Structure formats: C-alpha cells, structure tokens
Amino acid sequence: MNQENQCPPQTNPFKPEPARIVRTYYLTEDVKFFQVRIADMEKALSFRYKPGQFAMISVLGAGEAPFSISSTPSRPGLLEFCIRKAGVVTDALFRLKENHLIGIRGPYGNGFPIQNMKNHNVLIIMGGIGAAPLRSVLLNCLDNRDQFQKVTLLHGAKRPAEMIFRDEFFDIKDREDLECHLSVDQDDTGEWSENIGVVTTLFPKMEKIDPQQTYALVCGPPVMYKFVLQELLKLKIPRDQILMTLERRMKCGVGKCGHCAIDYIYTCLDGPVFTYWDVLHMRELI
Amino acid sequence: MRIVKLKQKNLNPFLEVISENTELWAPVRKYTDRHVFAQVEDVSQIDVDYTRTILPPRKIFLPPSFNMFTATEKEYKENFSHATKKILFGIHPCDIHGLLIMDQFFNYVFEDPYYTQARNNTLLLGHSCWPDEHCFCKSTRTHIIEEGYDLFFHRLSEDYLVWIGSSKGDDLIRLMPDCFEEKLSDEDIQFYIRLREQRNEAFQTEVNFTAMPDLMELKYNHPLWEKIGTACLACGSCTNVCPTCNCYNVMDHPQLKERGSLIHRDWDTCTLQSYSEVAGGENFREKRSDRLKLWYTHKIQAYISKYGKPGCVGCGRCIATCPVDINVKTVSQALDGKDVDAFWNRLNKGEIK
C-alpha cells in the first residue's frame, strides 16, 4: 500500500485557456462580434481547427457555453466568434470590453469535411445567425480559392439591419471568383439594393451547377431548413453532400456531460456537422 | 488466478490493517432496511449482508457535486480533492461491471481526469451476493465478475475464498500473510460450485435484452411511449440510482471576496425538462416520453451498438426506486409485447391518468 498519489494528468480537457478580447462590436442589435487571442502566444498560434468546429467559451461568474468558430484556420492567431445574446453566458459576454480576459478551450466537433469538398462546387446557404459557422468555411474557401470549383453564397436575413456581416459580404460580393446573392425578407429602409424575399427566392438566380459535383452547406433558423432542403433536393444534390451544422446544449464538449446526446451519438464528438442523410436517418436531429 | 482462503472472523482485522493509511469505504446500514456506501471509521460499522445500496458506487468517483476548478480571471486551478486514496470494500459484481462500463465511457476519445484519477486511486474489494426479487444481473451477464477487482471475497459457510485480481490486491494480502491459507480443500471447491449453481437458480427476474435494440427501433413511435411518458413523474430517481449514468451539469459559483469562482460539477438528469434546452428556449425533448426514450435508447440500444453490451448491469435499483414502476424490466417487457402486471396493467385500465 505504498502507492504514490498519482500526479494530475498532463492535460485536463476541461481547463480553459485564458484568452483576451481583442475587438468586439455589434453586428446587429442582438449579435456581437468577438475577436479573441489566446493569451499564451505559442498556444494561440498552435490552436488548429477546421471550419465548422466549435469552442467552449467561459466567462468567470457566469459559466461556459459552446460557440461556433467564425474565423478561418487560414488566418491563424486570432479566433473570431459571432454571438447572439440568448442566455446567462452571452449576457455576461456582451458586457465585456476589449482587453478583458475570458476562458477558451477546444476546438471540438467534427467540422466540415474540407478534404472531401476539395475540387467540388461549394454552395453555402446561410440564414440569420447561421452565418456564424458558415463564415469560417466561406473565408477558408476564398483563401484557398484554387482548391475548389465554383463557390456560391446565398445569405438571407429578416431586415437589412439584421444581416450579419453585411458590410463584409457586400465587400466580397463583386469578386469574380464568387457568386454571391443577398436577400432580406423585408426592406424597412427603402435603400436595399439586393433581392427581397426569403432565402429560397435566391435559388432561381443561381447559375446552373453540376449537382453531383456540389457540396451544399446549410445553417439557419429551424424554419429555414425545410424549404431550403426542398430546393436542394430539386437541384438533385445528393443527400449525403448536403451538410448542416446543429446546435445543442453542451457542458463539456468532449462527450462526457451527456447533454448533446441524440440516439447513439454525441453532437460534440460526432457532430455538429451532419449530412441530410444523417438527419433523415436519426431521430430528433432537427 | 491466485485464490486463497480467509476465515470469516479474520475479515475485520484484515480490513483494519489494510485501511490504516487509507480511507475505507464500505456498505453500511442506513435507516432500518437500506444500505449506502460510506466511509467507515470503525470496521464494525460494515454490513456485508446487503443486496443493493441506494446510490451506486460511482458517487465515490464522481461525487454528486464537487469542485472542478477554483478559478480567477488569470487561472483555473484544478481541484482533485475528491480523488483521495481509497479502498472500496463490499462492492458486488454488478456494480464492478457498472464501473467497467464507466471506465470505457470516461476514456472514450477524451480522458476525463476527474474520473480516472479517482478510479486509479481506489482499490476495489468485491464481495459475493445473493439476488432478491429485483436483481436481474444474470440477464445482463453481470452476475459474475472475472476482471476489474483487486480482491474478490466469495463467502462460503465459515470462510472466504479470496480471488486475487491484481498485483495491488496481492500486496494487500501480503500485509497479513498468516491469515490466508493457500491450500483449498475439495470440500471448499465443491461448496463454492454448489453455491454458485444455487445462486443461478435463485434469480426471480429475467429481462431479455437480445431483441431490445431492434425493438427500440421498431417501436420508437409506438403509443406505449406516450402512456409511459404520462405516468412518468420526471423525478430523475432512475438516473440518480443507475450505476452507468454519467450526465452532469457545470455551475459557476461566483466568490465575490476572492474575485473568482468555484466551478462545480453536479449530477444531472436527462429526464428533467431543462436538460435538452438550447439557447433561446428551444427544447428538443419537451415531452416526458421523449426524454424517457432518450434514456432507454441509451441504456438498451446505443450501448449495445457502441460497446457490445447494454448500459444496464441488472442491479435492480431502478426497479426498487421508481415510484411508478417505470424501469428497465417493465419497459423492456412492454416493448416485448408482454403483459406486465405492475404499472402496465394499471395504465391499460386507465388508473394512472
């Protein structure tokens, strides 16, 4: 019985890394942009992730929650998040100013299958806050433009003022290597120059693409999925090439706390990116 | 495996010696007829004549609420104070199997240091048992245990046959070598074999798990779930007493004076409504039947697919605990199309609304 007390393991997957808020500003009335750098420079640069993965962010005194990473791994060093005010943790986050410390750990989840998507068309359809995870994959495609065939972006918001990353998307809209259509459900400003209507009204405006050679990436509010999926099936995009990223409550991100369990799988380990086939196949996904 | 013999009267002196510098946890009587695993100061408190404890032994490895971190803005200081050196004596085969399932779970993809450290610091000393009307570990094939323990005590009439399962277990034996006999008589062996046969005959409850993954799939939208959901009180007792339930919540408790927080990890329950809520109040499992389906999918379908055996060890705790008789036995019998006299008949007669 002279067993030594065991040393704590080298890495504790639950231990957040201190990170500093570099920039933060409002994107819309209830969505804020956060640019964050892990305080330890070496760790900041070695934080490798894939588009579609997420990180756990903690605010001391409020708690911890999962957030999609909105920045692209092709621009290392800084992490960006696009966060909607929705609960205790986000309320606390919104009160924090630049230079404040938060906790961060990750990246977690499967992310988008970028390797498989190479040499294919990439069709990105985002609605509202769905821009948060899809901006990562969009910027990644644009930064590695020669690795992909046609890149198309369809982005819908309720009103012009609610369009997340509006300025950024207007900036890239005129790129020749990107087909970009923006739409709002209603224009209450009278100054909206783009399409008016739900995001599905953008489909007829799209140039024809070879569906077998296309990956479609969808993220948005629950109501959007039904109609967008119908359009994608009409285009004859295979169901296992339609990718969606899902939201669940999580307390750990590493498959232990159980909150994100669906059937056999844990959203944090096996997701959050699922194919439409997975969604049809598994219950309760959306 | 090395097997030695210990006189029953020498058990307590042995436990006293080996726990001199270590916490000793063992079954003790609580109220009049219940038992719990508790830390014992005096070995005379130990009562090995128990069938099942109220809570499974996982509470020793991951307490219902413990502090993960003492945090300030600059640093999250890890706290492993629950993972002290322990000897857990008197654990039954089903509960050891439960821990083996937890071992797999908490090491899957990521290692959970809070669990593994507590686990590595604890020696398991098993004890043989006798089934009551709720035990069905024979159905889950967890009524015997061949691995996972350091020592296992099989009670005979006046002696114990002590199976030595690990080198650390052997070290314990060496602390009192004179108490243990190396030589087993033919009588001892015969007695042990007969006892085992009699024990196999003594099981009164049987659950057929073979068809459960298929039945969960085929009857996922069956109206029986609505009935079970209506009867369920969503109290969470089944998950708290289950040896293979792992869910937890993390709470940040601000400490104003220290300008920091205590990050606590508390047991959570998938049968509670708030469990599957996401940001903005959306809930993927609003109905009690949906949440029960999640639990049973996990126990009798998903675990079988993932680890090759159910996430149930037949300990009978859910049967003994659920106030409205919803448990692995009644639910699997209902799925199997069998008439279940307990709550199922009452449900059919409309007595439970």
**Domain harbouring A83, CATH code:** 2.40.30.10
Q: What are phi and psi of B46, to 5 degrees?
A: -70, 135
Concatenating the DSSP letter of every residue in B217-255 gives HHTTT-THHHHHHHH-----HHHHH-TT---EEEEEEEE
CA dist B280 → A86, A221, A274, B258, B284 (Å): 5, 11, 22, 32, 12
Question: A60 vs B252: CB contact, 8 Å cut-off?
Answer: yes
Chain B positions in Cβ-Cβ contact with residue A16 (cut-off 8 Å):
76
- The answer to whether A271 and A279 have CB atoms below 8 angstroms apart is no
Contacts of B71 in chain A (CB under 8 A): 60, 103
Same domain, yes or no: A124 and A58: no
What is residue A183's three-state secondary structure? Answer: strand
The whole-number pLDDT of residue A5 equals 46
Contacts of B73 in chain A (CB under 8 A): 18, 60, 101
| Residue B289: pLDDT band with limits 50, 70, 90 | confident
Least Cα distance to A135 among A175, A177, A84, A80 occurs for A80
Whether residue A182 is found in the same domain as residue A80: no
Domain CATH code at residue A169: 3.40.50.80
Query: Domain check: are A124 and A236 in the same one?
Result: yes
Segment A53-91, tens digit of pLDDT = 999 999 999 999 999 999 999 999 999 999 999 889 999
**CA–CA distance, A242 with A51 (Å, rounded to integer):** 16
* B166-176: pLDDT as tens digits: 999 999 999 99
Using the beta-carbon criterion (under 8 Å), do B247 and A63 form an inter-chain contact? no
The pLDDT score that the predictor gives to residue A285 is: 62
Task: Categorize the per-residue pLDDT at A233 as very low, low, confident or very high, splitting at 50, 70 and 90.
Answer: very high
Residue among B85, B247, B251 minimizing CB distance to A3: B85
| A interface test, pick of B18, B73, B171, B300 with most A CB neighbours within 10 Å | B73
pLDDT the model gives residue A286: 60
Claim to verify: residue A169 and residue A99 sit in the same structural domain: no
What CA dihedral angle connects B266, B271, B277 and B281, to 10 degrees? -120
CA B253 – CA B276 distance, rounded (Å): 22
Structure tokens that stand for A184 in this block: 């709002």
State residue B347's pLDDT score: 61
Same domain, A123 and A204: yes
Q: In degrees, to the nearest 5, what angle opens at C-alpha B311 toward C-alphas B307 and B312?
A: 140
DSSP H stretches of helix in chain B: 11-18, 58-61, 93-106, 113-120, 167-174, 186-201, 212-218, 224-231, 237-241, 288-297, 303-307, 317-321, 328-335, 343-348
Residue B156 distance to chain A (closest CA, Å): 27
Contact B78 A284 (CB under 8 A): no
Q: Are A59 and A71 in contact (CB under 8 A)?
A: no
B167 exposure class (CB count in 10 Å sphere: 0-12, 13-18, 19+): exposed
pLDDT value at A4 more than 50: no
From the list B284, B251, B299, B111, the residue with the least C-alpha distance to A251 is B251
Under the banding of pLDDT at 50, 70 and 90, the label for residue A2 is very low
Does pLDDT of B343 surpass 70?
Answer: no
**Which among B12-16, B293-297, B302-306 has the top mean pLDDT?**
B12-16
| Separation CA B110–CA A220 (nearest Å) | 30
Q: Are residues A237 and A119 in the same domain?
A: yes
Does residue A76 sit within a domain?
Answer: yes
Q: Which of A255, A256, A261 sits opposite B294 (nearest CB)?
A: A261
Q: What single letter denotes the amino acid at residue B238?
A: C
Q: Is residue A33 part of a domain?
A: yes
pLDDT band at A223 (very low <50, low <70, confident <90, very high): confident
User: Mutate which of B105, B112, B218 to test chain A, going by most A C-beta atoms within 10 A?
Assistant: B112
Q: Which residues of A touch B110 (CB under 8 A)?
A: 13, 254-256
Is A261 part of a structural domain of the chain?
A: no
Domain boundary at A59, A74, A108, which?
A: A108
More confident residue, B99 or B230: B99
For residues A25 and A2, what is the distance between their CA atoms, to the nearest angstrom?
A: 57
Tens of pLDDT, residues B95-143:
999 999 999 999 999 999 999 999 999 999 999 999 999 999 999 999 9
pLDDT range class, residue B344, cuts 50, 70, 90 = low
Shared domain check, A170 and A94: no
Which residues have C-beta within 8 Å of that of residue A234, sequence separation ≥ 6? Answer: none
Mark whether A100 and A151 lie in a shared domain. no
- With respect to residue A266, please indicate whether it lies within any of the assigned structural domains: no
pLDDT at B342: 57
Q: Which of A222, A256, A259 sits opposite B112 (nearest CB)?
A: A256
Side chain identity, residue A279: V
Q: What is the ipTM for the molecules in this complex? A: 0.86
Looking at the complex, report in whole angstroms how far the Cα of residue B318 sits from the nearest Cα belonging to chain A.
Answer: 19
* C-beta atoms of A248 and B284 within 8 A: yes
Amino acid at position A185, single letter = D
CB pairs under 8 A between A and B: 128
A173-221 residue pLDDT tens: 989 999 999 999 999 988 888 999 999 999 999 999 999 999 999 999 8
pLDDT above 70 for B351? no
B251 vs B265: CA distance, rounded Å: 6
Identify whether A230 is part of a domain.
Answer: yes
- In the listed set A48, A81, A108, which residue is the last one of a domain according to the structure? A108
- In chain A, the number of structural domains is 2
- Is residue A94 pLDDT above 70, yes or no? yes
A7-11, A195-199, B7-11, B102-106: the lowest-pLDDT one: A7-11
In whole angstroms, what is the distance from residue B102 CA to residue B105 CA? 5
Are A148 and A124 in contact, with CB atoms under 8 Å apart? no
Nearest to B80 among A8, A256, A269 (CB): A8
Range of the domain at A191: 114-245
Q: Identify all chain B residues contacting A64, using CB atoms and an 8 Å cutoff.
A: 250, 252
CA atoms lying within 13 Å on the CB side of residue A141: 30
- Sorted by sequence, the CB contacts under 8 Å of residue B97 that are 6+ apart come out as B137, B140, B142, B145, B148, B313
Is A258 inside any structural domain?
no
Average pLDDT over residues A43-59: 94
A149 within domain boundaries? yes
Contacts of A248 (CB under 8 A, 6+ apart): A66, A259, A260, A262, A267, A268, A271, A272, B276, B278, B284
Check whether residue A226 and residue A173 sit in a common domain: yes
Of A75, A108, A141, the last residue of a domain is A108
Q: For residue range B244-269, list pLDDT tens digits in order.
A: 999 999 999 999 988 899 999 999 99
C-beta atoms surrounding A96 within 10 Å: 16
Are A194 and A129 in the same domain? yes
Q: What dihedral do alpha carbons A103, A106, A111, A115 form, nearest 10°?
A: 130
Same domain, A89 and A140: no
Amino acid at B267: W
pLDDT band at A259 (very low <50, low <70, confident <90, very high): confident
Residue B221 burial class via C-beta count within 10 angstroms: exposed 0-12, middle 13-18, buried 19 and up: exposed
Q: What is the pLDDT of residue B22?
A: 94
Q: Domain check: are A51 and A132 in the same one?
A: no
A3 has pLDDT over 60: no
Helix B328-335 / helix B224-231 crossing angle, nearest 10 deg: 160
B83 CA to chain A: closest CA distance, Å?
9
Tell me if A73 is assigned to some domain.
yes
Least trusted range by pLDDT, from A88-102, B41-55, B281-295, B309-323: B281-295
Q: Do B247 and A61 touch (CB under 8 A)?
A: no
Answer yes or no: do A269 and B278 touch at CB < 8 A: no
